[in-house]
Chains A and B, each alone.
Chain A
Amino acid sequence: GENVEQHPSTLSVQEGDSAVIKCTYSDSASNYFPWYKQELGKRPQLIIDIRSNVGEKKDQRIAVTLNKTAKHFSLHITETQPEDSAVYFCAAPGDSSYKLIFGSGTRLLVRP
């Protein structure tokens, strides 16, 4: 089946704290996992992605970890800033491997 579950749906953190968003997927053949950030009223934009041949990828304050055995992957944002406030979507390939299935989104609020 095609299913990507994302938790939590909302997350509020104090500026400077870390934020973690988790996603689980169902298709064991999935090999590409992107994360998109969508600010209010704007288009989704890719912020980081990971392929199944690595377990972790970092880009400055953002990191993504992948556990293929457990079929879950997580987004980690360290030293959060108010401009990190947005909705974050994870995605994973669907059965056909030609399309991405998006999670339901996590609304992150970073309190100054």
Chain B
Amino acid sequence: EAGVAQSPRYKIIEKRQSVAFWCNPISGHATLYWYQQILGQGPKLLIQFQNNGVVDDSQLPKDRFSAERLKGVDSTLKIQPAKLEDSAVYLCASSHKPGINNEQFFGPGTRLTVL
């Protein structure tokens, strides 16, 4: 089966600009996650969707970050405006069933550099 797809793979922007990332999960996977991975750290969950509903967005900086999964398949994550500290790899992951004890499959990530 095809894996989790993400685009773009790399993005360089200046601070205060906007950026959007796209994720296409594995077909049939109801649960989708967006993680932020700062260099040298583990992935940190930003938001979790179950179909098109939000399960957890407690660590999403809502003043600048937004995410949607309107049709319960693809998802977009947006940052507006970006700050220097947003430089990181943004990983999308999906799992077949809800609940954390189901394997999460990660995409290749989008490496964001904010100058």
Binding site for B on A (CB under 8 A): 4, 6, 31-32, 34, 42-46, 49, 51, 89, 91, 93-94, 96-105
The answer to whether A98 and B107 have CB atoms under 8 Å apart is no
Whether A43 contacts B107 in the complex (CB less than 8 A), given A99-B56, A103-B42, comes out as yes
Q: A96-B58, A98-B56, A99-B33 are in contact. List 10 more A-B contacts (CB 8 A).
A: A32-B101, A42-B108, A44-B91, A44-B106, A45-B106, A49-B101, A91-B42, A99-B45, A105-B41, A105-B42
> What are 12 contact pairs spanning A and B, CB under 8 A?
A32-B101, A34-B103, A42-B108, A44-B43, A46-B104, A91-B42, A98-B98, A102-B43, A102-B44, A103-B42, A105-B40, A105-B41
The 7 closest A-B CB pairs, nearest first, are A102-B42, A32-B101, A43-B106, A99-B45, A44-B106, A89-B42, A102-B43
Shortest distance from the beta carbon of A28 to any chain B beta carbon, whole Å: 16
Q: Which residues of B contact A (CB under 8 A)?
A: 4, 33, 40-45, 48, 55-56, 58, 91, 98-101, 103-104, 106-109
Is the contact region of chain B dominated by helix, strand, or loop, or is it mixed?
A: loop
For the complex, what is the distance from the CA of A104 to the CA of B40, rounded to whole Å? 7
**Residues in A neighbouring B40, C-beta threshold 8 A:** 104-105
Contacts of B48 in A (CB 8 A): 98-99
Residues of chain A contacted by B44 (CB below 8 angstroms): 102
CB neighbours of A4 from chain B (8 A): 42
Q: In the complex, A97→B102 CA distance in Å? A: 12
Q: How far does the Cβ of A47 sit from chain B's closest Cβ, in whole Å?
A: 11
Q: Report which residue of A51, A97, A99, A105 has the largest number of chain B beta carbons within 10 angstroms of its beta carbon.
A: A99
Q: Please give me the residue from chain A that is nearest to B109 by CB atom.
A: A43
Given contacts A43-B91, A89-B42, A105-B42, contact A100 B106 (CB under 8 A): no
